[in-house]
Amino acid sequence: MVDNRREYAFQQLTKYRAGQIETSQYAWMIDDWGKYNIVEALPEIEAFLQSSDVDVRIAALHTLTSYFRLQKYWPTARDFFLYGSDMSERSAGALALGRLQQNTQDRKTLGLLASVVADIYENDEIRKDAYQAMLLVGSGKWEMVHSRFYIDQDANWEYINTQHNPDLAREFITEAQQAFTQFQSGQLLTELDQYTFLMKCGRARLHEASETIETFLKNKSLLLQKTALRVLLLYLQIPNSWQFAVDALQQGAWVEGSDKSQHDPHSEYRQEAAFILGKLMRGTRDKKTLQILDAFFNDDNYDLSSDAQIASIEIYFGDYNREHSSVAAYGEIVAYIRSPHEDKNE
């Protein structure tokens, strides 16, 4: 049976080269090439890393790193992990790093993964994926991190903190400065190139790029607007960051000459603003911010409502964990917002 499947996978390669495979089948085809060790397809698989289809890019990376275990794709996995424009792409990058260095205890890989796990400005799902990959590198085991796993509460922080790599900061700064120079010289023209530029500037805290990044708040790309907002307000913490975030939450994304609801139908920009407010005001119990978020607790957009509630939990309790995500905790926050006092203990 395996021989038959391998023969079929090889036939797929022949058909692909003849232009006889539908694009919708590319991801499955690439996976089969890896699963049945079709080494003759390596040039084609590598080319798919540049595909415009994120699922195809992920399939190519997975095949090269999980099936063929080719170490030369470590830098590619790193770029997917740090700078992928899609959450699933970044998750695939984390897994690829874990697979390439499985059970090696490789310090460079662990340090890179730990830097994201420890970054509270990252999305928790990416932090969880990075932690899973750390466990894969450290122990060789793929431990599923379930939905009720709270990274700040349940992860082994003693282990994470021991993996800190002081050289990473300098590496990120050099990388961001090079990207800034490229952008200024007009070399970064595509949306993905500019997204990567923004992410690099944020990760490096490259304040000298602040004015340039601010122009992206009025970019036609929603992806670039959202990314610029997070970089400016969290990583660079420009003056008036709080007001910027409030305006973004209440007004939504900038749009020129078209319907704002069509530009951002799922209120992703407002969700980003809620996330930012939660991080900016974490642990402060600032009632003004909580009252602003309260207006979105029952929003018709479930994701926005959920993000506003999570942000409020972070502001009120200082973290987001199992106990603080309960109905009782939510009720405590609402009671505090409605109370006439600045602090519930007064």
- Average of per-residue pLDDT across 300-319: 95
Residue 259 has pLDDT above 80, yes or no: no
CA gyration radius for the chain?
A: 22
Mean pLDDT score across all residues of the chain:
93
Q: What is the pLDDT of residues 90-136, one digit of tens each?
A: 999 999 999 999 999 999 999 999 999 999 999 999 999 999 999 99
Q: Quote the percentage of the chain above a pLDDT of 90.
A: 85
Q: Looking at the domain 172-338, which fold is it?
A: Leucine-rich Repeat Variant (1.25.10)
- Average of per-residue pLDDT across 251-268: 84
d(CA 201, CA 179): 8
d(CA 130, CA 276): 21
Q: What is the pLDDT of residues 157-167, one digit of tens each?
A: 999 999 999 99
* Nearest alpha carbon to residue 124 among 296, 297, 278: 278
Given this model, what pLDDT does residue 82 score? 98
* Nearest alpha carbon to residue 202 among 221, 222, 183, 179: 179
Given this model, what pLDDT does residue 40 score? 96
d(CA 278, CA 163): 27
Residue 345 has pLDDT above 70, yes or no: no
d(CA 141, CA 151): 18
Residue 53: which region, alpha, beta or left (left: phi > 0; alpha: psi -120 to 50)? beta
Q: What is the pLDDT of residues 6-23, one digit of tens each?
A: 999 999 999 999 999 999
Given this model, what pLDDT does residue 322 score? 86
Q: What distance, in Å, lies between the first and last C-alpha atoms of the chain?
A: 73
Given this model, what pLDDT does residue 258 score? 67
Given this model, what pLDDT does residue 50 score? 94
Residue 343 has pLDDT above 60, yes or no: no
Given this model, what pLDDT does residue 1 score? 54
Q: What is the pLDDT of residues 46-76, one digit of tens each?
A: 999 999 999 999 999 999 999 999 999 999 9
More confident residue, 31 or 148: 31
CA distance readout (Å), 2 to 16, 36, 37, 64: 21, 8, 11, 20
Query: pLDDT category, 143, cuts 50, 70, 90?
Result: confident
Q: How many CB atoms lie within 10 A of CB 17?
A: 12
Tokens of 110: 């662990």
- Average of per-residue pLDDT across 124-152: 89
- Average of per-residue pLDDT across 223-241: 97
Given this model, what pLDDT does residue 340 score? 83
- Average of per-residue pLDDT across 133-151: 86
